[in-house]
């Protein structure tokens, strides 16, 4: 159950961050509301996740996968430049999360 809540927290954080791009500095109502709701839901789900998972494991997965997902969304859908260095960076973030978990973060 903890990993399902964590997946929801990641999805909410990614949605909130993506909406923030469209909020134009919180000057547009709906993207701004989606940003706030996304982060509120993300932190609520992350807090529930911490009841069953260690903070190191949960935060490493949440931050790492969220960062990689937002970077990929930027490159794939928001017109941000995609190059070998950025793709390698995303791969390294994901590898770091995996290594942390294999090394006993939990």
pLDDT tens-digit readout, 12-27: 999 999 999 999 999 9
The pair of three-digit structure tokens given for residue 74, joined into one six-digit string: 């930027």
- Its pTM stands at 0.91
Q: What is the pLDDT of residue 80?
A: 95
Q: What is the pLDDT of residue 106?
A: 52
105: pLDDT strictly greater than 70: no
Would you say the C-alpha torsion 42, 47, 49, 50 has a positive or negative sign?
Answer: positive
Three-state DSSP class for residue 61:
helix
């Amino acid at each position: 159950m903890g990993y399902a809540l964590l997946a929801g927290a990641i999805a909410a954080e990614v949605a909130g961050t993506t909406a923030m791009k469209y909020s134009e500095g919180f000057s547009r109502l709906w993207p701004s509301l989606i940003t706030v709701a996304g982060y509120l839901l993300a932190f609520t789900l992350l807090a529930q996740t911490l009841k069953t998972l260690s903070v190191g494991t949960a935060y490493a997965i949440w931050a790492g996968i969220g960062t990689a997902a937002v970077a990929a969304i930027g490159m794939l859908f928001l017109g941000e430049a995609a190059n070998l260095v950025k793709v390698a960076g995303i791969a390294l973030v994901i590898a770091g999360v995996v290594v942390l978990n294999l090394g006993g973060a939990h």
